[in-house]
A and B are shown apart, each in its own frame.
Chain A
Amino acid sequence: MVLVLALGDLHVPHRAADLPAKFKSMLVPGKIQHIICTGNLCVKEVHDYLKSLCPDLHITRGEYDEDARYPETKTLTIGQFKLGLCHGHQVVPWGDLDSLAMLQRQLDVDILVTGHTHQFKAYKHEGGVVINPGSATGAYSSVTYDVNPSFVLMDIDGLRVVVYVYELIDGEVKVDKIDFKKTATMLHS
Chain B
Amino acid sequence: MQRDTDILAPLGATNPSQQPSLSCCVPTCRSRSAAALLPEPSRHEAGAAFHLLPPRPSRSFPMRKKAARVVPEWLNSPLWSAPPQAPASPDPYGADLSPPPPPKPQPPPTPTPTVPPPSYEQAVGSSRRARGEAGWEGDGEDEDEDSGGAALRAHLLSDFKLALSKKVINMGELRRLACLGVPEGGAGVRPLVWKLLLGYLPIERAFWPHELQKKWSQYSAYIDEFLLNPSEKIRRFEETKLLRKKELNSDKIGLLPRSEVTNEEHPLSVGKSSLWNQYFQESEILEQIDRDVKRTHPEMSFFSTKTNQESLRRILIIFSKLNPSIRYVQGMNEVLAPLFYVFMNDPDPSNSASVEADTFFCFIELLSGFKNNYCKHLDDSQVGIRSTLSKLSQLLKRHDEELWRHMEITTKVYPQYYAFRWITLLLTMEFSFNVFIHIWDAILGDPEGPPETLLRICCAMLIIVRRRLLAGDFTANIQLLQHYPPTNIDHLLHIANRLRGSVAI
Residues of B within 8 A of A177 (CB): 258-261, 266
Residues of A within 8 A of B246 (CB): 179
Is A124 touching B231 in the complex (CB atoms < 8 A)? no
Inter-chain residue pair count (beta carbon < 8 A): 75
B259: which of A27, A157, A179, A183 is its contact (CB, 8 Å)? Answer: A179
Residue picked from A27, A166, A176, most chain B C-beta under 10 Å? A176
Give the distance in Å from the alpha carbon of A43 to the alpha carbon of B253 in the complex.
37
Q: A132 to chain B: closest CB distance in Å? A: 11
Return the chain B residue nearest A121 by Cβ. Answer: B255
Q: B243 to chain A: closest CB distance in Å? A: 9
Is A1 touching B229 in the complex (CB atoms < 8 A)? yes
Is A153 touching B268 in the complex (CB atoms < 8 A)? yes
Residues of B within 8 A of A157 (CB): 231-232, 235
Residues of B within 8 A of A69 (CB): none
Residues of A within 8 A of B234 (CB): 162
- Chain B residues 248-276 with CB under 8 Å of chain A are 250-261, 264, 266-270
- Chain B residues 305-343 with CB under 8 Å of chain A are none
B267: which of A126, A164, A180, A181 is its contact (CB, 8 Å)? Answer: A164
Is A162 touching B268 in the complex (CB atoms < 8 A)? no
B216 within 8 A of partner (CB)? no
Is A183 touching B250 in the complex (CB atoms < 8 A)? yes
Q: B361 to chain A: closest CB distance in Å? A: 29
Is B235 touching A153 in the complex (CB atoms < 8 A)? no
Residues of B within 8 A of A181 (CB): 250
B280 within 8 A of partner (CB)? yes
Q: B409 to chain A: closest CB distance in Å? A: 49
B252: which of A124, A162, A176 is its contact (CB, 8 Å)? Answer: A124
A176: which of B231, B251, B253, B258 is its contact (CB, 8 Å)? Answer: B258
Residue picked from A25, A129, A179, most chain B C-beta under 10 Å? A179
Residues of A within 8 A of B235 (CB): 157, 160
Give the distance in Å from the alpha carbon of A183 to the alpha carbon of B253 in the complex.
13
- Given A31-B268, A153-B266, A175-B266, check contact A164 B256 (CB 8 Å): no
Residues of A within 8 A of B230 (CB): 1
B253: which of A126, A162, A165 is its contact (CB, 8 Å)? Answer: A126
A77 within 8 A of partner (CB)? no
A166: which of B252, B253, B259, B268 is its contact (CB, 8 Å)? Answer: B268
Contact string, A137-178, partner B, CB cutoff 8 A, digits 1/0? Answer: 000000000000000010101001011111000000001111
A3 within 8 A of partner (CB)? yes
Give the distance in Å from the alpha carbon of A157 to the alpha carbon of B231 in the complex.
7
Is A27 touching B258 in the complex (CB atoms < 8 A)? no
Return the chain B residue nearest A165 by Cβ. Answer: B258
Residues of B within 8 A of A165 (CB): 258
Number of interface residues of B (CB under 8 A): 27
Give the distance in Å from the alpha carbon of A76 to the alpha carbon of B231 in the complex.
22
Q: B141 to chain A: closest CB distance in Å? A: 71
Give the distance in Å from the alpha carbon of A178 to the alpha carbon of B264 in the complex.
15
Q: A136 to chain B: closest CB distance in Å? A: 13
Contact string, A13-27, partner B, CB cutoff 8 A, digits 1/0? Answer: 000000000000111
Is B256 touching A180 in the complex (CB atoms < 8 A)? yes
Is A162 touching B231 in the complex (CB atoms < 8 A)? yes
Q: B56 to chain A: closest CB distance in Å? A: 73
Q: B294 to chain A: closest CB distance in Å? A: 20
Return the chain B residue nearest A163 by Cβ. Answer: B256
Residues of B within 8 A of A26 (CB): 268-270
- Given A153-B266, A160-B235, check contact A123 B254 (CB 8 Å): yes
Is A164 touching B261 in the complex (CB atoms < 8 A)? yes
Contact string, B124-141, partner A, CB cutoff 8 A, digits 1/0? Answer: 000000000000000000
- Given A155-B267, A166-B268, A175-B266, check contact A124 B254 (CB 8 Å): yes
Give the distance in Å from the alpha carbon of A30 to the alpha carbon of B256 in the complex.
29
A185 within 8 A of partner (CB)? yes
Residues of A within 8 A of B266 (CB): 153, 164, 166, 175, 177
- Given A26-B268, A157-B232, check contact A176 B260 (CB 8 Å): yes
Residues of B within 8 A of A3 (CB): 267
A122 within 8 A of partner (CB)? yes
Is A155 touching B258 in the complex (CB atoms < 8 A)? no
Q: B273 to chain A: closest CB distance in Å? A: 15
Residues of B within 8 A of A31 (CB): 267-268, 280
Is A30 touching B280 in the complex (CB atoms < 8 A)? yes
Give the distance in Å from the alpha carbon of A30 to the alpha carbon of B253 in the complex.
35
Residues of B within 8 A of A160 (CB): 235
Q: A50 to chain B: closest CB distance in Å? A: 15
Is A122 touching B261 in the complex (CB atoms < 8 A)? no
Between A and B, 25 residue pairs with Cβ closer than 8 Å are A1-B229, A1-B230, A26-B268, A26-B270, A27-B268, A30-B283, A31-B267, A31-B268, A122-B255, A122-B256, A129-B256, A153-B267, A153-B268, A155-B231, A157-B235, A162-B234, A164-B267, A166-B268, A176-B259, A177-B259, A177-B266, A178-B256, A178-B257, A178-B259, A179-B259
